[in-house]
A and B are shown apart, each in its own frame.
Chain A
Amino acid sequence: MADQAQKLNLLWLQSGGCGGCSMSLLNAEAPDLFTAMDSAGIHLLWHPSLSEQSGQEMRTILQSIVDGETQLDILCLEGSVIQGPDGSGGFHRMSGDGRPMRDWIHRLAQQAEQVLAVGSCAAFGGITSAGGNPGEACGLQYDGAKPGGLLGEGFHSRSGLPVVNIAGCPTHPNWVVDTLLQIAQGEMNLTELDELNRPRSYADHLVHHGCLRNEYYEFKASAEKPSDLGCLMEHLGCLGTQAHADCNTRLWNGEGSCLRGGYACINCTAATFEEPGHSFNQTPKIAGIPVGLPTDMPKAWFVALASLSKAATPARLKQNAHSDHIQVAPGDRTKEKP
Chain B
Amino acid sequence: MSRRIIGPFNRVEGDLEVQLDMEDDRVTGARVVTPLYRGFEQILQGKDPMDALVYVPRICGICSVAQSMAAANALAHVQGIEVPHNGELAGNLILASENAADHLAHFYLFFMPDFAREIYSKEPWFPAAVERFKAVDGSATREVLPARAQFMHLMGLLAGKWPHSLALQPGGTTRAVEIQEKGRIQMILFGFRQFLEQTLFGDTIENVINLDSVAALEAWTQQAAPTSSDFRHFLHIADALDLHAMGQAHDRFMSFGVYPEQGGRLFVPGVWDGELGKLDQQMISEDISHSWMHYQNEPKHPYDGVTLPSADEKGGYTWCKAPRLDGKVVEVGALSRQLVNGHPLIRELVAQNGGNVRNRVVARVMEIGLLLVAMEEWTNQLRPKEPFCHHLAMPDEAQGFGMIEAARGSLGHWLKVKNGRILNYQIISPTTWNFSPRDAKEVPGALEQALVNAPVRAGEQDPVSVQHIVRSFDPCMVCTVH
Contact = CB atoms under 8 A, between A and B. Distances in A.
Chain B associates with chain A: yes
A46 B135 CA distance: 11
Contacts of B10: 46-49, 51, 53-54, 58
B9 A91 contact: no
A302 interface: no
Interface string B29-63: 00001011111001111111011011100111110
Interface in B156-201: 156-167, 169, 172-176, 178, 184
Given A57-B462, A88-B311, A325-B384, A19 B9 contact: no
B480 interface: no
A21 interface: yes
Contacts of A16: 36, 38
Contact of B33 (A84, A95, A280, A324): A95
A158 to B, nearest CB: 26
Interface in A37-96: 44, 46-59, 82, 84-85, 88, 90-96
Given A95-B35, A128-B38, A253 B389 contact: no
A222 to B, nearest CB: 15
A225 to B, nearest CB: 5
Interface in A242-258: 251-258
A131 B166 contact: no
A330 interface: no
A29 interface: yes
Interface in B95-139: 105, 109-110, 113-114, 116-117, 134-136
A239 interface: no
B301 interface: no
Given A92-B15, A96-B7, A325-B384, A52 B134 contact: yes
Interface string B7-41: 11111011111000000000000000101111100
A91 B142 contact: no
Contacts of B8: 48, 54-55, 58-59, 94-97
A134 B145 contact: no
Contacts of A325: 176, 178, 384-385
Contacts of B60: 18-20
Interface residues of A, number: 79
Interface of A: 14-24, 26-29, 32-34, 44, 46-59, 82, 84-85, 88, 90-97, 127-128, 130-132, 134-135, 137, 169-170, 225-227, 251-264, 266, 268, 279-281, 324-325
13 contacts: A19-B478, A24-B163, A27-B162, A51-B136, A96-B5, A128-B39, A131-B45, A134-B43, A252-B162, A253-B149, A254-B150, A262-B173, A325-B384
Q: Which 8 A-B pairs have the closest CB atoms?
A: A261-B160, A20-B61, A95-B7, A262-B174, A134-B39, A96-B7, A256-B156, A253-B156
Interface of B: 5-11, 13-17, 33, 35-39, 42-48, 50-51, 53-55, 58-62, 64, 105, 109-110, 113-114, 116-117, 134-136, 141-142, 145-146, 148-150, 152-167, 169, 172-176, 178, 184, 309, 311, 319, 384-385, 387-389, 391, 461-462, 467, 478
